[in-house]
Structure 1
Amino acid sequence: MSAQVELSPRELEIAQSYAGGATYQKIAETLCIAPSTVRTHLATIYRKLEVSSKQELATRLSGEVPEPRNQSEMTAVISELALSLEEAISREKALSEVLRIIGAAKGNLDAVMPLILGHALELCDAEYGILFEYGQNGKFHATFTLGIPSDFKTWFEDKGWFAVSPETGLGRMDAQREVINIFDVKSEAIYKTNDPLRHATADLGGARSFVAIPMLAADDLVGAFALYRQTVRPFSDDATRLAQLFAAQSVIALENARMIKTMQDAKA
C-alpha cells in the first residue's frame, strides 16, 4: 500500500514537508499548529509507515517499500518518538513561562532578566548565567548576571565594556554568529595564554563547561546569552536548544524595554 493511501491528507502534508527538510517550527508556522502537534503527527506517520528516520520517510514517500521490521525495533522507534514529544512539550512550557514573565514585567528589564536567567539555569542545569550586551564598537558588557561567583562579577564590573579576542567563546560567537559550546574552558589552547577573559572565566568564575548563544535582532548581534557549569559537563543538544529559546526571548524583552522607553520619552 502506498504512503499516500495510508496517511490522511494532513499527515501526508506534514510528512512531505518534513522529508523535504522543513523543521518542526516551520511546519507548525505554515499550518498554524503547535510544534508538539507536528511531533504527534510524525509519531503517527512513523508508526503507520514503519520508518524510523527522515531518510527512511523520504524513501517511503517516493514509493519504495521497506523491509519488514520486527516488533522490538518498532517498540524502540515508538519509545524514542515518545521521548522526543515529551521534550518538545517541555520546551513549549518553558517558552510559555518566559513569555508570561516578559509580559508581566512591562518592560522592566531589572525585573525580567533575573527571572529569565533563573528559569534558564534551572532547566539547563547550569550554575550561573550572564546576559551580555553587545555594543557598536564590538565590545561586550555583562549587563545581567545570576548566580555568578562574586570575584568574577567584580571583574566584569571593573571592566565595564570590554573587547574579546577571536579565540574566546564570545569572540568565536561574534565572528560566526553561531552557538559556541565549549567542552572544557581549561582544555583549550587559549587558557595557556594570558587571555584575561578566559583566565577570569576559569579561575574567578570556576567555569569548566560553557555555552554562548548569539542574541540576534534580524541579522544584528545585540548580545549573548551565556550559561556556565563548574564541572566538566558539556551542554547537550537539548540544553543548547533551550538556551537558544531563552536567548531569543531575551531579545524580545530588550526590544520591548527599548520600545516602552521610547514611548515614555515621547510623552515626557
Structure 2
Amino acid sequence: MQTDVAGCAGTAGGRKQVQPDTILSPRELEIAENYARGQTYHAIAVRLHIAPSTVRTHLAAIYRKLEVSSKLELHARLEGDSAPGDAQTDHAAVISELALSLEEAIGRERALSEVLRIISRSRGDTDAVMAAILGHALELCDAEFGILFEYHDDRQFSARFTRGIPQGFRDWLDRQGVFTVGKATGLGRMEKVQDVVNIVDVRSEELYRTDDPLRHATADLGGARSFVAIPMLSGDSLVGAFTIYRQQVRPFNAQATALAHTFADQSVIALDNARMISELRALGGKA
C-alpha cells in the first residue's frame, strides 16, 4: 500500500525529506527566503516592520530547524536539496549560532573594506562617503537611524549628515542649524569627557522630564530609545559626534559600540581627506 505523506519530497538516508514550508512558520519562511536571496538583517527588518535583532533570532531558529550552517546551504535547502543526516538538537543549536556569528563577522569585514574603498576613491565627495558610512553603521549595529554632528565649540553642534532619520526629527534639526546642547544631554556629556556616552533609554533619564528641547526632539520626534554617541577626534581636538539610535530599548553592547567607534574614526579620515582635497584645489586655482 502506498502512503502519500504531505510535505515529503522523498527520502534522505532512509528518512523522509520534509519540505521547508512544513517545518518553518510563514514568518520564518519569508525571512529565510529573503536572507537566502542576499537581503541583510536591516533590510528584512524594514520590510517586515520588526527589529533587526528579531530577524537574527528567527534565523538562528531557521538554521537549526533546517540543519544548515551557511547562507549557501540555506539557499540550496529552500531550492529542494536534501537535508543532512540526523543532528543532535544541542549540536544543531551550537552550529546555527556559530554559523550566523561567522557570517556576521564576514559581513563586518566586508563593510569596513567597502568603507575604506569608498573613502580612497571619494575625491572629496563627503556626501557619498558619509551616506555609506552611516548606512553600514546602522546595518551592523542594528540601529534605525544615525546622525553625524559637526562640533562648533562650547557645546555647539549641527547635524551635518543623517541616515534613516524620521522626517519630523530631520525637520527640527534643519530649523535649529547650529545649536547649543545642554550639559546633561548625550552630546553635552560626550563633549565634556570626550568619550563614548551610551544611554540605555533616553526616556528613562531625568532629563526627559525637563523641558530640554534636544531630548524631547530625539525621543518624541525621532522615536529614539537607546542611543550611543561616539566622539570624533582629529588628534586631540573634538570635531564632531557619531551617533546611532534604536527605537526600542535595546542597549548597545560592547561589540556594537566598538563598531560604531570604528565608523566614527573612518568618518574623521573621510572629512580630513575632503578638507585636504579642497585646500589642494584652492591652491591649484591660485597657481
TM-score range, shorter chain: 0.5 to 0.7
Structure 2 counterpart of 1:223: 240
Give the distance between the partners of 2:202 and 2:229, measured in 1 at CA. Answer: 12
User: What displacement does 1:85 show?
Assistant: 8.5
User: What displacement does 1:103 show?
Assistant: 1.4
Runs of 4+ that moved beyond 3 A: 80-94
Letter in 2 for 1:178: D
* 2:278 is equivalent to residue 261 of structure 1: yes
CA contact (8 A) 1:173 1:214 kept: yes
What is the CA deviation profile of residues 113-145 of structure 1, one whole-angstrom value per residue up to 9, with x for unaligned ones? 111111111111100000000013441010000
Letter in 2 for 1:120: A
Structure 2 counterpart of 1:129: 146
How many residue pairs get aligned? The number is 189
Give the distance between the partners of 2:175 and 2:223, measured in 1 at CA. Answer: 18
User: What displacement does 1:157 show?
Assistant: 0.4
CA contact (8 A) 1:152 1:205 kept: yes
Give the distance between the partners of 1:235 and 1:221, measured in 2 at CA. Answer: 23
* 2:253 is equivalent to residue 236 of structure 1: yes
Give the distance between the partners of 2:267 and 2:150, measured in 1 at CA. Answer: 11
Give the distance between the partners of 1:86 and 1:217, measured in 2 at CA. Answer: 33
Give the distance between the partners of 1:263 and 1:128, measured in 2 at CA. Answer: 34
Please tell me whether Structure 1 or Structure 2 has the larger radius of gyration of its CA atoms: 2
Structure 1 counterpart of 2:188: 171
Structure 2 counterpart of 1:71: none
* 2:245 is equivalent to residue 249 of structure 1: no
Give the distance between the partners of 1:175 and 1:111, measured in 2 at CA. Answer: 30
SS of residue paired to 2:267: helix
Going by fraction, where is helix more abundant, 1 or 2? 1
Q: How does 1:142-157 map to 2 (within 5 A)?
A: 142-157=159-174
Q: TM-score, normalised by structure 2?
A: 0.62
User: What displacement does 1:94 show?
Assistant: 3.3
Q: How does 1:168-207 map to 2 (within 5 A)?
A: 168-207=185-224
User: What displacement does 1:233 show?
Assistant: 0.7
Give the distance between the partners of 2:102 and 2:248, measured in 1 at CA. Answer: 29
- The alpha-carbon distance between structure 1 residues 137 and 171, as it changes in their structure 2 partners (threshold 3 A), is closer
Letter in 2 for 1:113: M
- Identical amino acids, percent of aligned pairs: 65
Give the distance between the partners of 1:90 and 1:239, measured in 2 at CA. Answer: 14
Give the distance between the partners of 1:127 and 1:87, measured in 2 at CA. Answer: 18
- The answer for unaligned runs of 5 or more in structure 1 is 1-79
- The answer for unaligned runs of 5 or more in structure 2 is 1-96
- The alpha-carbon distance between structure 1 residues 261 and 115, as it changes in their structure 2 partners (threshold 3 A), is same
CA contact (8 A) 2:131 2:163 kept: yes
* 2:178 is equivalent to residue 161 of structure 1: yes
CA contact (8 A) 1:101 1:116 kept: no
CA contact (8 A) 1:121 1:127 kept: yes
Letter in 2 for 1:116: I
User: What displacement does 1:81 show?
Assistant: 11
User: What displacement does 1:106 show?
Assistant: 1.6
- The alpha-carbon distance between structure 1 residues 128 and 83, as it changes in their structure 2 partners (threshold 3 A), is closer
- The alpha-carbon distance between structure 1 residues 119 and 166, as it changes in their structure 2 partners (threshold 3 A), is same
Letter in 2 for 1:217: S
Q: How does 1:33-182 map to 2 (within 5 A)?
A: 91-182=108-199
Give the distance between the partners of 1:149 and 1:82, measured in 2 at CA. Answer: 34
Q: TM-score, normalised by structure 1?
A: 0.66
Letter in 1 for 2:262: L
SS of residue paired to 1:105: coil
